[in-house]
Amino acid sequence: MKVNSIPWHRLWMLFAQAVAIGAGLLVAWRAFGPATPPSAPAAAARREVVTVHETSGSSSLASTLLGRRDTGYRVAARKAAASVVNVYSRSAPKRRGRRANDSLSLGSGVIVAAKGYILTNDHVVEGASEFSVTLPNGKTVDAKLLGRDPDTDLAVLKVEATDLQPITFADADSVQVGDIVLAVGDPFAVGQTVTHGIVSATGRNRLGINTFENFIQTDAAINPGNSGGALVDLDGNLVGINAAIYSESGGFQGIGFAIPVSLARKVMDQIIAHGRVDRGWLGVSASDVERSDPGSSAGAVIKKIERGSPGEKAGMRVGDTVIALNGKSIADATALINETAMLAPGSQAEYKVIRQGETMALEAELGRRLGPAAKRR
């Protein structure tokens, strides 16, 4: 019996056809087959005073690239733009029954709750007595200043309006160097503008801009008028409040700074709840540990202790090196001030210190830190 063999080139053609058919079936299944059950939507986080929207997590890189290959950043820009407003602040001192020396400043703001709360920069409202906001729909309404925090350059306004679209807050830990971000605001009063760039750095401090600094640095174009506007990710979620630029000309030079959403959220919640921000105070001055010795550890060296302060009552001494607060490592003097300030006045705090080579724990009941205005008085 003779068995007819199939030529090798025909076998290869059959194999190729089978692969093509299989791939087609797979594409059809994905396109028209039963959809994967969607994940449960993130519930809006309920705070003590105000409810804000929070993202349930960041999109995968693959879905991000595939979803925006043809549409650019239009979805994120449209979503964020619906929550960004123009803020007008006017200082109008009265003189002889009429107004003189009117001073009008323009900035931006972000709608953070449907109740009409708007987050902006303190320097946008500083020294002003009247405020108005132009909403994304073009309507201009009066605004009330709820509170300011010069230490972080943040402030909260309140408007009486309906159909507001609050922004969605990004996961505070989601921002990474290299992420693409969009800056939304009203630079030079030309109208709402969207620019894009990347996160150039995080944790920027010691810039001399604010008392408490933890900036996101970005090369997205930020110019005068962008202050108080939104820095968002590719899903349109808020990652920061645009606050400052580094510039020798007064315009954009590729270095902008935004207050991260983690800090902005804490300040905003306190202003809405109490009209101010209360911070813990230890009453000491410190400097960084000198790193000349390769074996030296991080920490903050106590240089001065105010009489009667929580630090003195806790038993701290000049020369002590603070290395931890409530179990969290203290890297330097800035970290000591910032981490202490994050705690509420009256709370108990455990400081781990090194004194003459011996490690010990000291308990302190924190006082209330005075803000810049209180210090000037």
The catalytically annotated residue of 123, 151, 200, 219 is 123
Q: 324: part of which helix (H) or strand (E)?
A: strand 321-325
What contacts 344, CB < 8 A, 6 or more positions away? 278, 280, 366
Beta bridge partners of 333: none
Residue 149 annotated among the catalytic residues of the structure: no
Q: Which H or E element spans position 24?
A: helix 8-32
Helix (H, G, I), strand (E, B) or coil at 316: coil
The Cα 43–Cα 41 span in angstroms is: 6
Active site residue 227: yes
* 53 among known catalytic residues: no
DSSP class of residue 299 equals: -
Reading the block at residue 56, the tokens are 């349930």
Alpha-carbon distances, residue 157 vs 59, 121, 197, 284 (angstroms): 31, 10, 28, 34
Backbone angles phi, psi at 233, to 5 degrees: -90, -175
φ/ψ of 255, rounded to 5, equals: -130, 105
Helices (H), 210-342: 261-274, 310-313, 333-341
Round to whole Å and give the CA distance between 53 and 43. Answer: 8
**From 83, 89, 200, 227, the catalytic residue:** 227
Catalytically annotated residue among 122, 149, 151, 153: 153
Q: In degrees rounded to 5, what are phi and psi of residue 78?
A: -65, -40
| Whether the Cβ atoms of residue 223 and residue 252 lie closer than 8 Å to each other | yes
Catalytic residues: 123, 153, 227
